[in-house]
Amino acid sequence: MFPLFLLINFFEATRAIKGWVPPEKELFALRRTYYPGDIGFDPMGLRPSSNDGFEDMHVRELSNGRLAMIAVAGMCAQELANHKPILPASFIIGK
């Protein structure tokens, strides 16, 4: 578990250095060239070339995540109401 903690810590520190102004200069300020969520990692070349295109893609991704959270909440509510699992245990475990 400790190597995973170190890996996550490394990536978060790298992201913070890329996006935030050092605290000696200004507290709690983002760099002017940094767009939240854009860490420059795009190995497949999927990032749109324009900032407006990137912002549109960013909003779509957030909307899809929110829709997925609502769907999971609905599945949990259905299981609580019916007292039956939605997915059989054999599907989840892979038997």
Model confidence pLDDT, tens digit, residues 8-39: 999 999 989 999 999 899 998 999 988 887 88
Output the pTM of the full model: 0.57
Q: Which residues contact 31 (CB under 8 A, 6 or more apart)?
A: 18, 19, 20, 21
**Are 48 and 54 contacting, i.e. CB atoms less than 8 angstroms apart?**
yes
Model pLDDT, residue 90: 66
pLDDT for 76 beyond 90: yes
